[in-house]
Amino acid sequence: EAGVAQSPRYKIIEKRQSVAFWCNPISGHATLYWYQQILGQGPKLLIQFQNNGVVDDSQLPKDRFSAERLKGVDSTLKIQPAKLEDSAVYLCASSRTLYEQYFGPGTRLTVT
C-alpha cells in the first residue's frame, strides 16, 4: 500500500511569512497526526484528528498554527506568521489501530 505522502519536502521562508504543509494519509486510516521535530529532539505531537474531528490539539500554538482535515482524508498544517523557532521537520502520521502509526517523510522548514 502507498505510504503517507507529504509536500513540500523542503521549504525556506523568512520570519513573519506564512507557510502551509500538506499530508495525504494511508487510505482507510481514520486517525491523522501532525508532529514537530526540532533538530536533536524526538517528535512532539501538535494535533491529532479522528476522521475530520480534532481529538487533541493541546500542544498546538494556536496563535500561529492551524490545521484542518476536510472530508476526513487530506490535511493541511499552516503557520502564520512564522518565527525562527519554528524551524523544524513537520511530520504527518496516520493510523488505523491505536498502537501503530505510519509516518511520512516529513517537511523540513527553515525560517530565516
CB of 108 to other proteins, least distance (A): 9
2 binds other proteins (CB under 8 A): no
3-state helix/strand/coil string of 37-93: ECCCCCCEEEEEEECCEEEECCCCCCCCEEEECHHHCCEEEEECCCCHHHCEEEEEE
CA–CA separation, 5 vs 94, rounded Å?
10
How far apart CA 61 and CA 10 sit, in angstroms, is 22
Place of cell 487510505: 27
25 binds other proteins (CB under 8 A): no
Residue closer to other proteins (CB basis): 73 or 102: 102
For other proteins, the closer of residues 13 and 45 by Cβ is 45
91 to 110: interface string for other proteins, x by CB under 8 A: x-x-x-xxxxxxxxxx----
**61 binds other proteins per the rule CB under 8 A:** no
The residues that touch other proteins, with contacts defined as CB under 8 A, are 4, 31, 33, 41-45, 48, 55-56, 91, 93, 95, 97-106
